Structure formats: C-alpha cells, structure tokens
Amino acid sequence: MEAEKVIQTVDLSKHFGDFIACNAISFEVFKGEIFGFLGANGAGKTTAMKMLCGLSAPSSGKATIAGFDIYKQTEAIKKRIGYMSQKFSLYEDLSVLENIEFFGGIYGLSQQEIKQRGQQLIDQLGLADVAKNMVGSLPLGWKQKLAFSVASLHDPEIIFLDEPTGGVDPVTRRQFWDLIYAASVRGITVFVTTHYMDEAEYCHRVSIMVDGEIKALDTPENLKKQFQVDSMEDVFFELARGAQRLGD
C-alpha cells in the first residue's frame, strides 16, 4: 500500500516532571484510514492525541500532521484537523444551528457554505425538528453525533476522536460508526481512541499503548493471529495485564 502518510511521529515523548506520559512513540497513519488508538486508562492516549492536535507541546521527538510540523506549524495544522474531546464540548446554551454557524464561522467557511453544509448535516442526522433547540436539551447520543459532524464541518484531513462513544447506547454507537465510515470513504483520516473492543474490530489498524509506550500496532486480524486469540478483547488483556501504572 503506497498511501499518503498523514500522521507521522518519531520518538514523540511528553514528560510531566518525572512522569513520562508518552515514551518515544513512533507510528504512521495513512490517508483515509480509521486508526484505533487503544490503551488502558492512564496509558497516555489522551496526552498523545493532544500533542498531535497542537493542544499540548511535546517534550521531545518529531511529528508531522498533514505534512506540517507540530512544533512550528500548529496553526496550519489546526486548519486541517477536527477534534472531538472526551468531554462534550459544543455550546449547550446555543442551538444546533447556532453551534454549526459558530464553528463553521471560525473555521472560515463562507455564509453560503455554512448554510449548505449545515443543512446537509441536519438532514443526515435527522435533526431537522430540533435544529432550533438548545444543544443542552438533546440526548447524549445525539449530542455526540452532532459533535462529530461539527468537527468535520470544515472538511478536515484528519479527525481526532477521544473516546467519542463513552456512555452512548449500542444502537447510537453503531450509527456513530456509520458516520466514521462515511468520513473515511470521503478520504478523511479518523484517529480514534476507545475502550470498546468491538469498536477496535471496526478499525483498519489499531495500536495498543501500555504505560506510555506503543506495545502493538497492526490490523485487528494480524494482532489476533500474533497473540493467538479470538478477539481484540483478548489481545488487549494480553498486553494490558503487564501494565505497571494504575488506571485513573
């Protein structure tokens, strides 16, 4: 596969004092790929993701996102990525339409684009009836789908999703993954962390982090073969069992 590399990291590390949250992680992610980023609580997933998004400055190592350097070109990177954090982070006191307008606006979409893409998004998610309602009044599953759609409103090259389906029911989770697949088909790279091992099976490739290091990285099939187990859950157990750090 000679695909374009959209994320490339070499020995990327983050230290908080003596604590090494991320220890020299190196990996590559290709265009249009759904990349699962697994690990126990406290393994360093969120820290790694924040470095890639430009929210957190790395202590050492190198990385490029969409061809831009994460030390010097964070603003260029920010135009080309979407991010959905663990916490729901649309404005609950703005309506669905107002959130779309606001985030579209600050990414520099024209009034025309905001209207058009906003309408498309609302139709796609079936939110037409509640478009003028405050986001805070929507059920969690709807909010998460909306947050994902807003994060991809400006057609980013990469979307970072930090545990996007935590606390969401199985049906909505399935719908959420439909959205992820649709984005991937459009050529958007999806970088996703999750604790659900069935979701790990949906990913093209997964990496598993233990104690700040990447211990395994391959397709779900290959990983299962390598560890001679039947499911990703067992692969995860095999690796995470040796973890020294306590989860949070």
Partner 1 sequence: MRTLIFLLKKEFKQIFRNKALLPIIFIAPIMQLIILPLAADFEIKNINISFVDHDRSSFSQQLYQKIVGSGYFKAISYGSSYQDAMQHIEKEESDIILEIPEGFERQLIRENKQDLFVAINAINGVKAGLGGSYLNQIIANYNQDIRAEWGLIKGNPQQAGLQVSSYFWFNPHMNYQVFMVPAILVLLVTMISTYMCALNIVKEKEIGTIEQINVTPIKKYQFILGKLIPFWLIGIFIFTIGLFGIGYLIYGIVPLGNLLTLYAYLSLYLIAMLGLGLLISTVSNTQQQAMSVAFFFIMIFMLMSGLFTSIDSMPNWAKAIAYCSPVTYFIDVIRMLVLKGSTFNDIKVHFAITAGFAVLLNVWALYKYKKTS
By the rule CB under 8 A, 93 interacts with partner 1: yes
State the nearest-atom distance from the C-beta of 232 to partner 1, in Å: 29
State the nearest-atom distance from the C-beta of 225 to partner 1, in Å: 37
State the nearest-atom distance from the C-beta of 86 to partner 1, in Å: 8
Among 68, 103, 148, 236, binds partner 1 (CB under 8 A): 103
- Among candidate residues 81, 76, 61, 65, the one with its CA nearest the CA of residue 28: 65
CB 160 within 8 A of CB 81: yes
By the rule CB under 8 A, 57 interacts with partner 1: yes
CB 157 within 8 A of CB 188: yes
Candidates 32-40, 54-62, 123-131, 238-246: pick the segment binding partner 1 (CB under 8 A): 54-62
Which positions from 33 through 52 interact with partner 1, judged by CB under 8 A? 50
| H-assigned helices in the chain | 45-53, 74-80, 96-106, 111-125, 140-151, 170-185, 197-202, 220-227, 232-240
Q: What is the spatial distance between Cα 208 and Cα 190, in angstroms, rounded to a whole number? A: 16
State the nearest-atom distance from the C-beta of 242 to partner 1, in Å: 30
Candidates 5-13, 102-110, 185-193, 223-231: pick the segment binding partner 1 (CB under 8 A): 102-110
Q: How many residues bind partner 1 (CB under 8 A)?
A: 30
DSSP single-letter state for residue 95: B
Among 32, 36, 39, 54, binds partner 1 (CB under 8 A): 54
Q: Kindly tell me which of 81 and 203 has the beta carbon lying closer to partner 1.
A: 81
**Which residue type occupies 25?**
I
Q: What is the spatial distance between Cα 9 and Cα 3, in angstroms, rounded to a whole number? A: 16
Among 23, 28, 30, 101, binds partner 1 (CB under 8 A): 101
State the nearest-atom distance from the C-beta of 168 to partner 1, in Å: 17
Burial class (CB in 10 A: 0-12, 13-18, 19+), 231: middle
By the rule CB under 8 A, 19 interacts with partner 1: no
* 3 state DSSP class of 125: helix
Position of tokens 């909505």?
172
By the rule CB under 8 A, 20 interacts with partner 1: no
Name the residues that contact partner 1, by CB under 8 A.
Answer: 50, 53-57, 74-75, 78-79, 81-83, 85, 87-94, 98, 101-103, 105-108
